[in-house]
């Protein structure tokens, strides 16, 4: 069950979609709106709300494809994904991913894979409305995500190594996504917070290159 | 004089904001590729700013809601979308 909705995400209804008498585990991931984002500088930026927009037809198709792919990769029974569009207030959920399986570990793995893929591939965008600094559409730069997604598509690997400057441990689940080819650091405050000198993504690309060399 | 036709181009998020609109009808010659459409879109609808340039360069492309390479030829009546780096979730 895949939904793009203007209404608050109903977690009970989301979990109902994956309920199954042969399943011994359900994993539910919720992505929530941070009011406060800590920057590398130590400064905290306050978000008033987020506004989400999607290329609806394409996003729905892609989310369905992701669910089908997850079911082929792991012995899971059901996948349900709800994503908000329009205005989402701090602490509300913008996305919910639910997975069920006979045993728990594959649900954890599949749910993580699904949310990582969603954040890198599905045509949905957020606009941050800051309390202090107006509003800005978020378009993450490559290498700005610390998840182990194998690749922001179309990454220019030669540039990726030089893409990032400032280091930070600041987590940014709101927006930590990379799907870009250009590497210019964004001016968005909490974009900078995500930049890491040698991202896990870069490392995995290096590892991938090494594997290819060995073959 | 080659045949001309119109394709519908859709922009989203920061690109739509920069262009001031989210949908454009772009007239192209038969045989044009997605790249050609984007080049024309760039001239006709987007401001010549670094922000616009970097967003277009970072974008992927779709025809009728499926990702395609920029080298694919477009056909009459298709919907071409520019997909700037996504930020859902």
What crossing angle do the helices spanning B50-58 and B34-45 adopt, rounded to 10°? 160
Contacts of A137 in chain B (CB under 8 A): 13-14, 17, 87
* Selection from A98, A124, A135 nearest residue A179 by Cα: A124
- Residue-wise pLDDT for B22-34, tens only, equals 999 999 999 999 9
Contacts of A125 in chain B (CB under 8 A): 12-14, 84, 86-88
Residue pair A141/B85 in contact (Cβ under 8 Å)? The answer is yes
The pTM is what?
Answer: 0.78
- Residue-wise pLDDT for A139-178, tens only, equals 998 777 777 776 544 433 333 333 333 333 333 434 333 3
Tokens of A155: 């990454």
Q: What is the per-residue pLDDT for A4?
A: 98
- Residue-wise pLDDT for A116-140, tens only, equals 999 999 999 999 999 998 999 999 9
Instruction: Find the largest Cα–Cα distance for chain A.
Output: 53
Whether A122 sits inside 8 A of B88 (CB atoms) is yes
Residue pair A34/B89 in contact (Cβ under 8 Å)? The answer is no
Integer Cα distance of A101 and B24 in angstroms: 45
Q: What is the percent of chain A where pLDDT is above 90?
A: 62
Average pLDDT over every residue of A22-43: 94
- Shortest distance, CA A117 to any CA of chain B (angstroms): 10
Least CB–CB distance from B86: residue in A121, A173, A184: A121
Least CB–CB distance from A119: residue in B66, B83, B88: B88
Least CB–CB distance from A182: residue in B54, B62, B89: B54
Whether the CB of A128 is below 8 Å from some CB of chain B: the reply is: no
Band (A30; pLDDT cuts 50, 70, 90): very high
Instruction: Provide the mean pLDDT of chain B.
Output: 94
Whether the CB of A118 is below 8 Å from some CB of chain B: the reply is: yes
Q: Model ipTM?
A: 0.95
């Amino acid at each position: 069950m895949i939904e793009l909705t203007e209404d608050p995400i109903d977690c009970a209804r989301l979990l109902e979609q994956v309920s199954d008498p042969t399943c011994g585990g359900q994993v539910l991931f919720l992505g929530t709106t941070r009011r406060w984002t800590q920057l590398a500088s130590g400064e905290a930026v306050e978000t008033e709300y987020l506004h989400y927009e999607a290329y609806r037809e394409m996003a729905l198709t892609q989310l369905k494809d992701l669910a089908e792919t997850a079911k082929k990769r792991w012995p899971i029974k059901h996948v349900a994904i709800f994503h908000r569009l329009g205005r989402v207030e701090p602490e509300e959920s913008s996305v919910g991913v639910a997975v069920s399986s006979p045993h728990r570990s594959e649900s954890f793995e599949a749910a993580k894979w699904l949310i990582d893929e969603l954040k890198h591939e599905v045509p949905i965008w957020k606009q941050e409305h800051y309390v202090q600094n107006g509003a800005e559409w978020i378009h993450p730069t490559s290498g700005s995500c610390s998840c182990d997604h194998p690749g922001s598509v179309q990454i220019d690997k030669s540039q990726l190594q030089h893409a990032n400057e400032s280091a930070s441990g600041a987590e940014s689940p709101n927006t930590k996504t990379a799907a870009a080819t250009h590497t210019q650091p964004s001016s968005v405050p909490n974009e900078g917070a995500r930049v890491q000198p040698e991202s896990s993504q870069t490392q995995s690309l290096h590892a991938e290159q090494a594997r290819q060399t060995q073959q | 004089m080659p045949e001309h036709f119109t394709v519908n181009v859709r922009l989203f998020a920061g690109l739509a904001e920069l262009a001031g609109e989210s949908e454009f009808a772009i007239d192209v010659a038969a045989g044009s590729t997605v790249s050609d459409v984007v080049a024309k879109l760039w001239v006709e609808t987007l401001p010549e700013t670094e922000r616009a340039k970097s967003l277009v360069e970072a974008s992927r492309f779709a025809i009728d809601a499926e990702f395609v390479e920029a080298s694919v030829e477009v056909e009459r009546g298709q919907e071409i979308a520019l997909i700037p780096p996504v930020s859902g979730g």
